[in-house]
Amino acid sequence: MKKSLFIGLFITLIFPSVFAQSGTRFLENTPWVNVLQQAKQENKLIFVDCYTSWCGPCKQLATEIFPQKIVGDFMNSKFVNVKYDMEKEEGLTFNQKYPDAIKAYPTMLIINTTGEIIHKIVGSMPAEELLSAIEEGLQGNTIYTFEKEYQKGNKDWTFIKKYLVALKYANEKETYEQVARTYISRFPIDSLLNLEIWNIMKDIIVKDPYSREFRFTVAHINDLEQRGVERYPLEQELSSSIGFAVNMLLIGCLNTENKDTLQIYEEQAKQLRSLLMHPIKGFPESLAELSLNECRISGNVNELYKRFCVLMNCGFIKRSIFQEYMLEYLIQKSNNKQHLQTCIDYLLALQKNTSGWEKENINKTIVTGKEKLNSCK
């Protein structure tokens, strides 16, 4: 009995890989030419896991997904599996062969024996979803085949849906947005109330407050809620996007004296203001921030200072980068000693919660503020 236990323990310690093979079997950092040769000999496609040591989703795939038996049985029967650390040795060499294919981690590629990429999947996901995405590629539902079909003029909705799903799995965000916007532009704007179309478009709709789709969503949020769209997360996304747009508009205004450019910003402010009048959570805070633009355009530095302090004390201005730009502008334009000291105090508090280049920039502004404060009579 003891002898059997000893032998079992010995095998486990000396040959741990034997017991790790119930999941996906990977070649690791194997020269690419050897991988191609093995794939040809076994008449299999190649599955490549492109990862880095610091990538959290990569580790999730390696420890939770690939070791599963259901995944291993599928992958080992279909592919020669190989993984590369893209920052080391063979990974660097592999990246040079396919420089346009790998833009994020983890990226998983299916490659044929001639070295042609036939499918791409980006990101970690549950086992069933991953296997489904791989199966789609094996059936020819890939961004590469869909791109050819799309360029030939196929705009059928059934085809477009498949193309968009493939683009999403491949993390091709720009192409996804371009295809989706081109498709939706063919139809009346109220087609967004169709949940099938909404679910395809929603991720890009909420990003651009200047788009007609964003305006429609804000105006018809009650209709969307009645059709089953969850209101709270949608309000959060709309509020975040328009809040960011308000901050970027104000930062742009702070960094120019060109009248034509300021006029463009003023027109943009009018568009945002009309949206912010809708009763959506988070919009009142952004509307209050937008009021700072009126003071900037008029050149009323004292009023700008007063409104900024009120909003800061109310906790309305949350983005540190916007606080920094606003305080830098006030220090440049103000000659009031009390105002300058208050701005310096805000910057000192902000500096405690920042690091790196942002902290260095804040420190430079503090120095400028103190020099100006000392020069004031």
Model confidence band, residue 325 (pLDDT cutoffs 50, 70, 90): confident
pLDDT at 250: 87
Q: Please indicate, yes or no, if residue 36 is contained in any of the structural domains.
A: yes
Q: Which two tokens stand for residue 130?
A: 């991953």
* 316 three-state secondary structure: coil
H/E element holding 49?
Answer: strand 45-51
For the segment 36-41, the average pLDDT, to the nearest whole number, is 95
* 45 three-state secondary structure: strand
Q: Please indicate, yes or no, if residue 46 is contained in any of the structural domains.
A: yes
* pLDDT tens-place string over residues 242-270: 999 998 998 888 888 888 888 898 899 99
Q: Please indicate, yes or no, if residue 348 is contained in any of the structural domains.
A: no
Q: Please indicate, yes or no, if residue 89 is contained in any of the structural domains.
A: yes
Does position 18 have pLDDT exceeding 90, yes or no? no
Phi, psi of 61, deg, nearest 5: -60, -45
> Cα 7 to the chain's mean position, in Å?
51
Asked which of 180-184, 188-192, 214-218, 233-237 is least confident by mean pLDDT, the reply is 180-184
Cis peptide before 106 (omega within 30 of 0): yes
CATH number at residue 92: 3.40.30.10
Structural domain boundaries, residue 31: 21-125
pLDDT at 8: 42
Does position 6 have pLDDT exceeding 70, yes or no? no
* 131 three-state secondary structure: helix
Q: Taking CA 262 as the corner, what is the angle to CA 258 and CA 263, rounded to the nearest 5 degrees?
A: 120
What's the start-to-end Cα distance of the chain, in Å? 94
- From residue 284, alpha-carbon distances to 170, 273, 303 in Å are 37, 10, 20
d(CA 90, CA 100): 17
Please report the sign of the dihedral spanned by the C-alpha atoms of residue 260, residue 264, residue 267, residue 272.
negative
- Contact present, 60 and 124 (Cβ < 8 Å): yes
Q: Please indicate, yes or no, if residue 357 is contained in any of the structural domains.
A: no
pLDDT at 10: 42
Asked which of 68-72, 282-286, 298-302, 364-368 is least confident by mean pLDDT, the reply is 298-302
Q: Taking the CB of residue 257, how many other CB atoms lie within 10 A of it? A: 8
Model confidence band, residue 19 (pLDDT cutoffs 50, 70, 90): very low
CB-based contacts of 84, cutoff 8 Å, min separation 6? 29, 48, 49, 50, 51, 90, 91, 94, 95
**Which letter, b or e, does each residue of 91-113 get, where b requires 16 or more Cβ atoms within 10 Å of its Cβ?**
beebeeebeebbeebbbbbbbeb
Q: Which two tokens stand for residue 36?
A: 């191609």
Please report the sign of the dihedral spanned by the C-alpha atoms of residue 73, residue 75, residue 79, residue 82.
negative
Q: Please indicate, yes or no, if residue 271 is contained in any of the structural domains.
A: yes
Torsion of CA 94, 97, 103, 109, to 10 degrees: -70
How many separate domains does the chain show? 2
> Looking at the chain, how many residues does it have?
377
Q: Please indicate, yes or no, if residue 287 is contained in any of the structural domains.
A: yes
* 27 three-state secondary structure: strand
Domain-terminating residue out of 299, 331, 353? 299
d(CA 156, CA 160): 6
- Contact present, 175 and 167 (Cβ < 8 Å): yes
Domain-terminating residue out of 77, 109, 125? 125
Per the model's pLDDT, the better-predicted residue between 5 and 68 turns out to be 68
pLDDT at 245: 93
pLDDT at 116: 93
Average pLDDT of the chain is 87
The CA-based diameter of the chain, rounded to the nearest angstrom, is 94
Domain-terminating residue out of 284, 299, 314? 299
d(CA 136, CA 65): 18
Does position 2 have pLDDT exceeding 80, yes or no? no
* pLDDT tens-place string over residues 107-162: 999 999 999 999 999 999 999 999 999 998 898 888 888 998 999 989 888 898 88
pLDDT at 21: 52
For the segment 363-369, the average pLDDT, to the nearest whole number, is 91
Q: Which two tokens stand for residue 367?
A: 């120095």
Residue in 273, 264, 260, 336 with CA at minimum distance from that of residue 300: 336
Tokens 């967004």 sit on residue = 192
